[in-house]
A and B are shown apart, each in its own frame.
Chain A
Amino acid sequence: GAVVSQHPSWVICKSGTSVKIECRSLDFQATTMFWYRQFPKQSLMLMATSNEGSKATYEQGVEKDKFLINHASLTLSTLTVTSAHPEDSSFYICSAPFVSDTQYFGPGTRLTVL
């Protein structure tokens, strides 16, 4: 089956620093990947659609200059949280569609900003 991985699984950083999160489709290619954010005890909220070879599409209210997305290849999308602040602490999850457009989700990355 299709597998999506994320790295790192947990990152702790100081306020003001930037953090990069990777999302990889391990055994399939994905021209599109999706980034979600999940706050504790809340549901997943779509942040942006990552498009291979073109700019990402951001959801309303998501700052594109703060959450930089780069879809460098058909198997890799990265999300960079720039100048992170404590309110950015959250669980970030990516997904990619495969066969019948079923979404396969990564295990998530827990970001803690001190």
Chain B
Amino acid sequence: AQRVTQPEKLLSVFKGAPVELKCNYSYSGSPELFWYVQYSRQRLQLLLRHISRESIKGFTADLNKGETSFHLKKPFAQEEDSAMYYCALSVGAGNMLTFGGGTRLMVKP
């Protein structure tokens, strides 16, 4: 069965510092990887997906199949980036998502 691991429950950085939220997955096939974000008192929303290969709000993530990782990065963190970030994996048809445990990002002024 597939599994997603986010090793850090909490990541605290200062404004302007680089950010990297780690995500590792285990799946023998070719999964689709996502990052979802949940701001305070808001619903979960898609931040980015690996097949899009785009940058959203300054965040990027590259799928590394060799290391089975999909780390989320941003060169300069902003206070408004403070939120809960979930890495998720989808396999095959059906689109069901397997979520990692989540990382709370706190950006301090």
Contact = CB atoms under 8 A, between A and B. Distances in A.
A26 interface: no
Nearest to B104: A41
Contacts, number: 44
B66 to A, nearest CB: 25
A93 interface: yes
A32 B95 contact: yes
Interface residues of A, number: 20
Contact of B43 (A34, A42, A97, A108): A108
- The secondary-structure label for the interface of chain A is strand
Interface residues of B, number: 18
B12 interface: no
Interface of A: 32, 34, 36, 42-46, 49, 93, 95, 97, 101-108
Contacts of B86: 43-44
Interface stretch (B14-22, B23-31, B44-52, B75-83): B44-52
Contacts of A101: 90, 95
A44 B99 contact: yes
Contacts of B94: 32, 49
Interface string B23-65: 0000000000000100000111110010000000000000000
